[in-house]
């Protein structure tokens, strides 16, 4: 570049699909995660913080094609070396750690983790390429006691962050029960699990549409198929009436108590050994939870939980918030799911060849924060500092001493550090900071040994264009002895 040519200025922009978090957003998330961590640690889970960068080989799912990996991850190649990439979730790094440190870690290994993950996807409104996940998993525990523990922990975590009992429900289902039902319905052959894959897909999708289509619609999809209002035809799974009955019975098996649900499910799975195993696991989970006092008001067996059934191998669970919010169109709707998880048994097999049973849960950090916001549980975090204004720039040491006194008393406080010439700017600054109180001391006040405290929460509306003279006439301000600064500020903040 020629030296006399002025290079164009760089753009000050966040990369597309990324964002910055300011002030209260950072604090609210941090405080929520701290409360969740406390619960997880009480349950014996240890934190794990893996590096953001993994080898593409260890991440597995995404392999470099001819040029570079681009299917979903941010990746690059080392100089003459490995392809590296940013992690896209917290489970893949856990699998790598569980394999790499298998001789050093306790078995079972209970670990929790939270932190950003990255997805190389097309960004959209509200969809970012970096976001937080918060996971807890138990690796190496074949017993469903591990699943029960995670359900209890999830309920405790939700209450710890401020979701009241009655405002959430943790629902538990079991993949094995569904497979038993598929067996009874004739679309799963234990001797050849690859058969009937298409039919099982149709059944799964039909179950998932119960809410929208109702029992008749689902039954049509289980049979020959269904024509919707527009006249379009969706092909069905082709089940006979008895077979469809089994699936419908599965979906409607939920009773008033866990015991009733389990009894019905036992009927539904009939002679399927796998199905019975699944029902017994659900029964054990319900027993273990009830022994700790977790009743169906908090955690219930619910065969309608289908989400993730395709991925998991045993118990699955989902936490739903049951209170209503207004959607963007002003209609009432349930808040919905904020966490989900289940048992998956192939965590480290890719690395070691050895199957290691694992179960875990992932909390949707942004969803849960939105729920807390909807319930009015957030907001204190945004409290701005008390601002000590600078009326006389030769007396900065005095103002700094006031700030020092306030801070030593644990009060968030600062002196105005901009150009003090325009007093209105100082008040605008305090306003922008969400400051609750401005402290003012001009020459007259200093001579009398007093300061003026201005209650900015009361005065917020008029602060915009106030001059000092207008300001002094407002009732929201008091003159107090300098010696009482800390106690009077404390009093005003407590109001």
379 vs 404, beta carbon nearer a copy of itself: 404
Q: Which residues lie below 8 Å from residue 459, measured CB to CB, with a gap of 6+?
A: 466, 471, 474, 476, 477
Pairing mode of beta strands 299-301, 168-174: parallel
Residue 14 contacts a copy of itself per CB under 8 A: yes
424-430's contacts with Cβ under 8 Å and 24+ in sequence apart are 424/465, 424/466, 424/467, 426/387, 426/389, 426/390, 427/389, 427/463, 427/466, 427/471, 428/463, 428/464, 429/387, 430/384, 430/387, 430/389, 430/456, 430/463
Identify which of residues 81 and 330 has a Cβ nearer to a copy of itself in the complex: 81
Considering only the stretches 19-27, 190-198, 226-234, 235-243, report the one whose residues sit in contact with a copy of itself under the rule CB under 8 A.
Answer: 19-27
Q: How far apart are CA 69 and CA 366, in angstroms?
A: 28
**Is 307 annotated for ligand binding?**
yes
Q: Segment 426-465, which members bind a copy of itself (CB under 8 A)?
A: 429, 432-433
Contact between 468 and a copy of itself (CB under 8 A)?
no
Question: What's the closest the beta carbon of residue 150 comes to a copy of itself, in angstroms?
Answer: 11
Distance (Å, whole) CA 16 – CA 39? 36
- Integer Cα distance of 445 and 330 in angstroms: 53
The least distance separating a copy of itself from the CB of residue 133, rounded to whole angstroms, comes to 14
Q: What is the DSSP letter of 126?
A: T
Q: Binding to a copy of itself (CB under 8 A): which residues in 334-353? A: 348, 350-353
Q: Which of 30, 127, 373, 491 binds a copy of itself (CB under 8 A)?
A: 30
User: Alpha-carbon Rg of the chain, whole angstroms?
Assistant: 30
Q: Annotated binding residue at 43? A: no
Residue 109 annotated as part of some ligand binding site: no
Site for a copy of itself in 153-182 (CB under 8 A): 156
CB of 260 to a copy of itself, least distance (A): 19
Which of 26, 71, 326, 483 is in the footprint of a copy of itself by CB under 8 A? 26
Site map for a copy of itself, 49-78, x if CB under 8 A?
A: xxxxxxx-xx-x-------x-x---xxx-x
Tell me the CA distances in angstroms from 416 to 23, 245, 399, 408, 438, one per residue in order: 19, 73, 9, 18, 10
φ, ψ (nearest 5 deg) of residue 236: -95, 180
Q: Please tell me the distance from the alpha carbon of residue 371 to that of residue 450, in angstroms, as a whole number.
A: 46
Annotate each residue in 195-234 with x if it binds a copy of itself (CB under 8 A) or - if it does not, as one string.
Answer: ----------------------------------------
CA 451 to chain centroid, in Å, comes to 46
Query: Closest by alpha carbon to 91, among 309, 285, 343, 321?
Result: 343
366 touching a copy of itself, by CB under 8 A: no
Q: Is 178 among the annotated ligand-binding positions?
A: no
Q: In angstroms, what is the minimal distance from the CB of 382 to a copy of itself? A: 9
Find out whether 338 and 319 touch, Cβ atoms under 8 Å: yes
Q: Which of residues 287-306 bind a copy of itself (CB under 8 A)?
A: 287-288, 290-293
Residues 384-413 that bind a copy of itself (CB under 8 A): 384-385, 396-398, 400-401, 403-404, 407, 410-413
The answer to whether residue 100 forms part of the interface with a copy of itself (CB under 8 A) is: yes
| Residue 389 annotated in ligand binding | no
* Residue 467 known to bind ligand: no
Whether residue 174 contacts residue 316, with contact meaning beta carbons closer than 8 Å, is answered with yes
Stretch touching a copy of itself by CB under 8 A, among 13-21, 201-209, 449-457, 474-482: 13-21
On whether 312 is known to bind a ligand per the annotation, the reply is yes
Name the residue nearer to a copy of itself (CB basis): 51 or 230. Answer: 51
- Smallest gap from residue 448 Cβ to a copy of itself (A): 20
Task: Tell me how far apart the alpha carbons of residues 269 and 176 are, in angstroms, rounded to a whole number.
Answer: 10
Number of residues that bind a copy of itself (CB under 8 A): 106
Query: Cβ distance 159 to 375 under 8 Å?
Result: no
Beta strands in 302-449 (DSSP E): 315-326, 332-344, 358-363, 386-388, 413-415, 437-440
Shortest Å, Cβ 108 to a copy of itself = 5
Give least dist CB 78 to a copy of itself, A. Answer: 8
Stretch that binds a copy of itself, among 25-33, 218-226, 321-329, 436-444 (CB under 8 A): 25-33
Q: In the range 246-285, which residues lie near a copy of itself by CB under 8 A?
A: 284
Q: How far is the CB of 190 from a copy of itself (least distance, A)?
A: 24
DSSP 486: H
484 is an annotated ligand-binding site residue = no
- Report phi then psi at 486, rounded to 5: -65, -50
Task: Name the one residue in this structure whose structure tokens are 């017993």.
Answer: 143
Task: Supply the minimum distance, in Å, between the C-beta of residue 454 and a copy of itself.
Answer: 17
Q: Which residues between 120 and 139 bind a copy of itself (CB under 8 A)?
A: 129-130, 138
- We find the least distance from the C-beta atom of residue 7 to a copy of itself, in angstroms, to be 10
Peptide bond into 11 cis (omega under 30): no
Spatial separation of the C-alpha atoms in residues 137 and 360, rounded to whole Å: 4
Contact between 23 and a copy of itself by CB under 8 A: the answer reads yes
> Stretches 93-101, 221-229, 310-318, 468-476: which one binds a copy of itself (CB under 8 A)?
93-101
Q: Is 333 annotated as a binding residue?
A: no
Sequence ranges of the binding site for L-histidine: 89-91, 119, 133, 137, 307, 311-312
């Amino acid at each position: 570049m020629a030296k006399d040519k002025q290079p164009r200025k760089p753009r000050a922009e966040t990369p597309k699909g990324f964002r910055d978090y300011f002030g209260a957003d950072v604090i609210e998330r941090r405080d929520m995660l701290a409360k969740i961590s406390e619960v997880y640690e009480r349950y014996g889970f240890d934190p794990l913080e893996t590096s953001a960068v993994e080898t593409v080989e260890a991440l597995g799912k995404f392999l470099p094609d001819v040029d570079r990996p681009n299917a979903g991850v941010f990746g690059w190649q080392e100089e003459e070396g490995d392809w590296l990439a940013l992690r896209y979730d917290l489970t893949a790094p856990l699998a790598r750690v569980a394999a790499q440190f298998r001789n050093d870690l306790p078995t079972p290994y209970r670990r929790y983790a939270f932190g950003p993950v990255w997805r190389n996807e097309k960004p959209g409104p509200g969809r970012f390429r970096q976001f937080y996940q918060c996971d807890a998993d138990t690796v190496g525990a074949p017993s469903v006691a591990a699943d029960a523990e995670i359900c209890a922990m999830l309920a405790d975590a939700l209450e710890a962050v401020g979701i009241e009992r009655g405002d959430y429900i943790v629902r538990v289902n079991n993949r094995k029960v569904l497979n038993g039902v598929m067996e009874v319905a004739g679309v799963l052959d234990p001797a050849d699990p690859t058969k009937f894959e298409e039919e099982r897909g149709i059944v799964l999708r039909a179950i998932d549409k119960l809410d929208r289509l109702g029992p008749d619609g689902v039954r049509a999809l289980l049979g020959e198929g269904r024509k919707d209002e527009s006249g379009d035809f969706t092909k069905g799974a082709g089940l006979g009436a008895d077979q469809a009955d089994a699936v419908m019975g599965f979906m409607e098996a939920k009773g008033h108590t866990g015991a009733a649900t389990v009894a019905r499910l036992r009927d539904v799975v009939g002679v399927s050994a796998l199905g019975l195993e699944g029902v017994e696991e659900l029964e054990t989970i319900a027993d273990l939870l009830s022994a700790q006092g977790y009743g169906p008001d908090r955690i219930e067996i619910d065969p309608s939980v289908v989400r993730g059934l395709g991925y998991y191998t045993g118990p699955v669970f989902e936490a739903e918030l049951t209170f209503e919010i207004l959607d963007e169109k002003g209609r009432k709707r349930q808040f919905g799911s904020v966490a989900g998880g289940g048992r998956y048994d192939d965590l480290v097999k890719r690395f070691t060849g050895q199957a290691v049973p694992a179960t875990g849960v992932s909390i949707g950090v942004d969803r849960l924060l939105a729920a807390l916001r909807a319930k009015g549980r957030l907001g204190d975090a945004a409290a701005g500092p008390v601002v000590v204004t600078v009326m006389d720039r030769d007396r900065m040491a005095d103002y700094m001493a006031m700030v020092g006194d306030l801070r030593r008393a644990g009060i968030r406080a600062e002196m105005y550090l901009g150009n003090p010439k325009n007093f209105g700017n100082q008040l605008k600054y305090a306003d922008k900071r969400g400051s609750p109180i401005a402290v003012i001391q001009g020459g007259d006040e200093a001579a009398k040994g007093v300061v003026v405290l201005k209650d900015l929460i009361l005065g917020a509306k008029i602060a915009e264009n106030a001059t000092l003279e207008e300001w002094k006439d407002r009732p929201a301000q008091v003159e107090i002895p300098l010696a009482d600064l800390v106690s009077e500020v404390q009093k005003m903040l407590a109001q």
